[in-house]
Amino acid sequence: MQLQLPEASIEAQHASRLLHNLIAAEIRHYDGWISFARYMELALYAPNLGYYSGGAAKLGKDGDFTTAPEITPLFGATLAQLSTELITATDATLAPQMLEFGAGTGQLAFDILTELHANGFSLDAYYIVELSAELRARQEQKLSVFRQVQWLDRLPASFSGVVIGNEVLDAMPVEMLVRGEQTWMQRGVGLEEVTDSVGEAQFVYVDRLANPSLVEQIPGADDLAVGYLTEVHPVAIGFMHSVAAMLNAGSGGVAIFLDYGFPAAEYYLGQRDQGTLMCHYRHHAHPDPFYWPGLQDVTAHVDFTAMAVAAIHGGMDVLGYTCQAAFLLDAGIAELLLRTPPENALQYLPQANAVQKLISPAEMGELFKVLIVGKQAIFPARFGRNDRCHKL
């Protein structure tokens, strides 16, 4: 398949070829096959070469995709207001601290901390768990005025407070499964030794018999048609278990995950027979994960049922699940928008248009979901009016 995408620079192509050779060497080391999750892990996180661990610009107008914090500071301000409410609730056991996974450019942290400062609310600490050295450097520069920000290389053993994960779960490696004539197969990556114009063997899909533990993650797997292709999420499930252990060790915590995805009943629909895997390269979406590895994002939608079940198995409570539009409106984003008078059209209209992107069903409002889990914590009752936990 010939993709019509922007040309990568010579320097970027060189970096991608180094990563290509690293992955190819691992495939050869493991007798010609690695799981797709391992390929995705290397493509995104291989030291100094992966998409998130290398130096390529990733977010915003000059990157590959745009996230909610890049669209409007009201997104972060809304989360700041909600976090203040959670921490200061009369019966709350949450400490005045926050933790963010994968903070991107640092824009969300900046907006949250700016809003908290404007409201006179002081956090003891704002922790950022960041795996990308390049993104951490950008965050350190952007957040230099906020002395309570601390960076971590891994989850702390215990935490009490509010946890934020915006578009984190979708960046975790997935396994690909395909229904064969007799049984389910695990789709991995091998090499086609017929080389390209620069002498590199090409990555190809190679299917092997799937481990039953992976197939068990697909509800109604036996009812799906031959050729049905989908993803399962063992890495994200393991991550949710780790979050649960962290919050269980603390005195109380709420974790809010915002991402695009579906509950299992919608994720594994019969007509969604080619899965949800997608790649993003300079604001172009396409389905080829082998295109310039290290220069593009590789992602899959989140199975929110699997995330909720993992949270429960880890000892957490599911406090809420809804679409992003309902969550932001219940959290007060409309009221924050009205801090700019509508009569001041020059300032109000751009902000209103940005908020519309976040809440419109045709944009991010319905595709993006919000899962709230916690331990020894409650969530404001008003969120119950739009709750969709019954769909998980």
For residue 90, is pLDDT > 80? no
Q: Cα–Cα distance between 267 and 245 in angstroms, integer?
A: 27
Q: Which residue has the tokens 């996230």?
A: 67
User: To the nearest whole percent, how much of the chain has pLDDT over 70?
Assistant: 95
Average pLDDT over residues 374-390: 95
Average pLDDT over residues 193-220: 88
Q: Cα–Cα distance between 21 and 99 in angstroms, integer?
A: 36
Average pLDDT over residues 292-298: 94
Average pLDDT over residues 329-352: 97
For residue 197, is pLDDT > 80? no
Q: Which residue has the tokens 């799937």?
A: 210
Nearest to 16 by CA among 37, 42, 41, 36: 42
CATH 3.40.50.12710 assigned to domain 18-175+213-391? The reply is: yes
For residue 61, is pLDDT > 80? no
Per-residue pLDDT of 175-191, as tens digits, reads 999 999 999 999 999 99
Average pLDDT over residues 94-113: 96
Q: Cα–Cα distance between 295 and 281 in angstroms, integer?
A: 7
* Continuous H helices in the chain: 10-29, 36-45, 68-71, 73-88, 107-118, 133-142, 212-215, 234-248, 264-267, 304-313, 324-331, 333-337, 345-359
- In the numeric block, which tokens belong to residue 93? 């056991």
Q: How many Cβ atoms sit within 10 Å of the Cβ of residue 99?
A: 25
Q: Would you state the pLDDT for residue 60?
A: 45
- In the numeric block, which tokens belong to residue 16? 């991608």
Average pLDDT over residues 11-35: 96
Q: Would you state the pLDDT for residue 5?
A: 81
How sure is the predictor about 1, in pLDDT bands with cuts at 50, 70 and 90?
low
Average pLDDT over residues 288-299: 95
Average pLDDT over residues 312-322: 98
- In the numeric block, which tokens belong to residue 1? 């398949």
- In the numeric block, which tokens belong to residue 255? 């974790």
Q: Cα–Cα distance between 12 and 15 in angstroms, integer?
A: 5
Q: Cα–Cα distance between 96 and 123 in angstroms, integer?
A: 5
Strands of 278-281's sheet in order across: 284-286, 278-281, 297-299
Average pLDDT over residues 306-330: 98
Q: How many Cβ atoms sit within 10 Å of the Cβ of residue 232?
A: 26
Q: Cα–Cα distance between 193 and 79 in angstroms, integer?
A: 50
Q: Which amino acid is at 144?
A: S
Per-residue pLDDT of 237-272, as tens digits, reads 999 999 999 999 999 999 999 999 999 999 999 999
CB contact at 8 A, 373 and 317: yes
Helical (H) or strand (E) element with 105: none
Backbone angles phi, psi at 225, to 5 degrees: -75, 155
For residue 62, is pLDDT > 60? no
Q: Cα–Cα distance between 369 and 323 in angstroms, integer?
A: 4
- In the numeric block, which tokens belong to residue 199? 């002498």
Sequence-ordered list of residues with C-beta below 8 angstroms from that of 264, at least 6 positions apart, any chain? 219, 303, 304, 305, 306, 392
pTM greater than 0.75 (yes/no): yes
For residue 85, is pLDDT > 80? yes
* Helix then strand then coil, % of the chain, to nearest 5: 40, 25, 40
User: To the nearest whole percent, how much of the chain has pLDDT over 90?
Assistant: 86
Question: Number of C-alpha atoms within 13 angstroms, CB side, residue 270?
Answer: 6
Q: Cα–Cα distance between 1 and 13 in angstroms, integer?
A: 19
Per-residue pLDDT of 267-290, as tens digits, reads 999 999 999 999 998 878 999 999
Average pLDDT over residues 323-327: 98
- Paired strand residues for 151: 128
For residue 59, is pLDDT > 50? no
By three-state DSSP, how is residue 324 classified?
A: helix
**Crossing angle of helices 324-331 and 345-359, rounded to 10°:** 130
Q: Would you state the pLDDT for residue 289?
A: 97
How sure is the predictor about 3, in pLDDT bands with cuts at 50, 70 and 90?
low
Average pLDDT over residues 137-149: 96
Q: Would you state the pLDDT for residue 267?
A: 97
Q: Cα–Cα distance between 376 and 391 in angstroms, integer?
A: 24
- pLDDT: which is higher, 109 or 193: 109
Q: Look over the chain and give the mean of its residue pLDDT values, rounded to a whole number.
A: 93
For residue 102, is pLDDT > 50? yes
